[in-house]
């Protein structure tokens, strides 16, 4: 019998754990190394989602292990009013990488960083209305949850007053089209803001956006969109907040995703990738905005603000990304992975679309619709492929949110080898074959 079937373990899990969404994988993970996690049978499972999109350097990177061991012996946690060298060093390094965003607040999670960013935007502008994309995910707490539209909105009472959504651009299923059938995102954006303006009470504070909407189905903002969105914000006296939880620190082939468009946000939030699997997040903004917030009494005390241990890890993450040239690696490996997935799209009708940037890609599973075209989302086949993949030794996260269908989120560590990418592609092909044969 497999050690993964340990009845004592699963009985205890069922008895004592609060279920927080979805189902657990049928395995007990005992350890992880590099691009793999290992179950109770010591079976290697290729991790194509970097844990929760966070293990940017893979699992157990020796530099991260060394930093944790060294820093925890010195100081791991301090009173919020105390500063340590790792905190100031990380703030300085981040500011160097994002010119103009010179002020940094170090926190623990993505939701927390978005809470702080929105709180700051409201205080500085003196307004309260927040706009986000209809497929967004910015966290499960407070105003971050109010700006999250891809899931979790029903059953929890009212959202924050002044929460608005606009459609997320989707080139695979365009709402507004050019004559050739391609997405007319400018008309869509204009139409969306006309609706926002008609609902606003004149208190638009900020727009919060992911450069690639991950939980919404790996939807990348088209080139040029970010600049147009920033202009919409400028015209209304709003701040632009970019949530780069998953796109930051090299994953898209740029250090930050906004660099491709040459548009610097007013506030940027980081999490996931900056901590390489440890809880670390950051809010970055301009000196002007931070000064204004401070003058108005900006308050965001949390237990783990400016903690030295995660800050030291963040510095090491930036060192490794620089020394191992992982931004370039994300670009080249991402192209290799994109090409491999595109070949699967050519081979299987059920692979409807491959999209994304760098090592952050989406694969949408579809079925034939009434018009005879393979455009309809296929929830069941997507789930079956995911199950087959896990059996075959590959972990791929699939978006199962209503209306999105089976969209695989593929974001392996930036340290992944070409051989491991090839292995992943071969398992995906095998898993598609297996799922189709069972139909």
Give me the pLDDT at residue 372, please. 76
- pLDDT tens-place string over residues 376-404: 899 899 999 999 999 999 998 887 665 55
Q: What is the Cβ-side half-sphere exposure of residue 184, based on CA atoms within 13 angstroms?
A: 12
User: Does 399 or 124 have the greater pLDDT score?
Assistant: 124
Lowest-confidence pick of 20-29, 92-101, 113-122, 141-150: 20-29
> Catalytic: 409?
yes
Closest to 399 in 3D by CA, of 86, 165, 170: 170
What's the mean pLDDT when you consider all of the chain?
Answer: 96
- pLDDT tens-place string over residues 223-268: 999 999 999 999 999 999 999 999 999 999 999 999 999 999 999 9
> Catalytic: 433?
no
What whole-number percentage of the chain has pLDDT above 90? 93
> Catalytic: 137?
yes
| Catalytic site residue from 272, 329, 355, 357 | 272
Give me the pLDDT at residue 375, please. 85
> Catalytic: 42?
no
Give me the pLDDT at residue 79, please. 97
| Catalytic site residue from 137, 261, 388, 420 | 137
Token match 């670390």: residue? 280
Residue 155 has pLDDT above 80, yes or no: yes
Count CB atoms within 10 A of the CB of residue 264: 18
Residue 90 has pLDDT above 90, yes or no: yes
What are the tokens at 267? 């506030």
Q: How confident is the model at residue 23 (pLDDT cuts 50, 70, 90)?
A: confident
Distance between CA 311 and CA 279 in Å, rounded? 10
- pLDDT tens-place string over residues 292-309: 999 999 999 999 999 999
| Catalytic site residue from 243, 261, 290, 378 | 243
> Catalytic: 210?
yes
The answer to whether the CB of 274 falls within 8 A of the CB of 280 is yes
| Catalytic site residue from 39, 185, 409, 420 | 409
Give me the pLDDT at residue 368, please. 85
Q: Do the strands 163-166 and 129-133 form a parallel or antiparallel pair, or are they unpaired?
A: parallel
Closest to 345 in 3D by CA, of 373, 367, 364, 370: 364
Q: How confident is the model at residue 191 (pLDDT cuts 50, 70, 90)?
A: very high
Distance between CA 311 and CA 273 in Å, rounded? 13
Token match 């909407």: residue? 213
The answer to whether the CB of 156 falls within 8 A of the CB of 146 is no
| Catalytic site residue from 47, 112, 115, 210 | 210
Rounded to an integer, the average pLDDT of 113-135 is 98
Distance between CA 435 and CA 367 in Å, rounded? 13
Q: How confident is the model at residue 130 (pLDDT cuts 50, 70, 90)?
A: very high
> Catalytic: 288?
no
Rounded to an integer, the average pLDDT of 33-43 is 98
What 3-state DSSP class applies to 291? helix
The answer to whether the CB of 412 falls within 8 A of the CB of 35 is yes
| Catalytic site residue from 71, 135, 230, 246 | 246
Give me the pLDDT at residue 438, please. 82
Rounded to an integer, the average pLDDT of 332-337 is 98
- pLDDT tens-place string over residues 194-211: 999 999 999 999 999 999
Give me the pLDDT at residue 373, please. 81
In degrees rounded to 5, what are phi and psi of residue 377? -65, 140
Residue 89 has pLDDT above 90, yes or no: yes
């Amino acid at each position: 019998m497999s050690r993964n079937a340990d009845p004592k373990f699963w009985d205890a899990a069922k008895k004592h754990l609060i279920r927080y969404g979805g189902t657990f994988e049928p395995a007990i993970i005992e350890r992880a190394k590099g691009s793999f996690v290992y179950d109770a049978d010591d079976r290697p499972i290729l991790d194509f989602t970097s844990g929760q999109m966070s293990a940017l350097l893979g699992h157990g990177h020796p530099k991260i292990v060394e930093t944790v061991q060294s820093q925890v012996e010195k100081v791991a946690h301090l009173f919020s009013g105390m500063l340590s060298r790792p905190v100031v060093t990380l703030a300085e390094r981040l500011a160097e990488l994002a010119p103009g965003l010179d002020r940094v607040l170090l926190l623990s999670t993505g939701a927390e960083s978005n809470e702080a960013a929105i709180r700051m935007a409201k205080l500085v502008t003196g307004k309260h209305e927040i706009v986000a994309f209809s497929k967004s995910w910015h966290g499960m707490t407070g105003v971050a949850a109010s700006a999250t539209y891809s899931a979790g909105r029903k059953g929890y009472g009212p959202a924050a007053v002044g929460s608005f959504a606009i459609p997320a651009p989707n080139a695979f299923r365009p709402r507004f089209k050019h004559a050739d059938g391609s997405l007319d995102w400018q008309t869509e954006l204009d139409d969306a803001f006309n609706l926002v303006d008609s609902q606003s009470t004149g208190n638009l504070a900020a727009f919060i956006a992911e450069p690639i909407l991950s939980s919404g189905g790996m939807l990348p903002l088209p080139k040029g969109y970010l600049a147009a969105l920033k202009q919409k914000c400028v015209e209304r006296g709003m701040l632009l907040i970019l949530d780069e939880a998953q796109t930051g620190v090299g994953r898209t082939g740029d250090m930050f995703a906004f660099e491709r468009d040459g548009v610097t946000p007013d506030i940027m939030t980081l999490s996931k990738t900056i901590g390489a699997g440890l809880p670390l997040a950051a809010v970055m903004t301009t000196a002007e905005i931070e000064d204004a917030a401070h003058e108005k009494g900006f308050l965001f005390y949390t237990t783990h603000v400016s903690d030295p241990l995660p800050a030291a890890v963040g510095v090491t993450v930036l060192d490794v990304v620089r020394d191992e040239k992982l931004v370039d690696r994300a670009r080249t490996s991402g192209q290799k992975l994109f090409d491999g997935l595109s070949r699967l799209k050519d081979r299987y009708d059920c692979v409807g679309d491959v999209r994304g940037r760098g090592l952050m890609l989406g694969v949408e599973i579809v079925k034939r619709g009434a018009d005879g075209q393979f455009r309809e989302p296929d929830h069941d086949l997507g789930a079956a492929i995911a199950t087959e993949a896990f059996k075959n030794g590959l972990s791929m996260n699939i978006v199962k949110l209503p209306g999105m269908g089976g969209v695989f989120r593929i974001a392996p560590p930036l340290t992944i080898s070409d051989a491991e990418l090839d292995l992943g592609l071969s398992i995906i092909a095998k898993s598609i074959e297996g799922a189709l044969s069972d139909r």
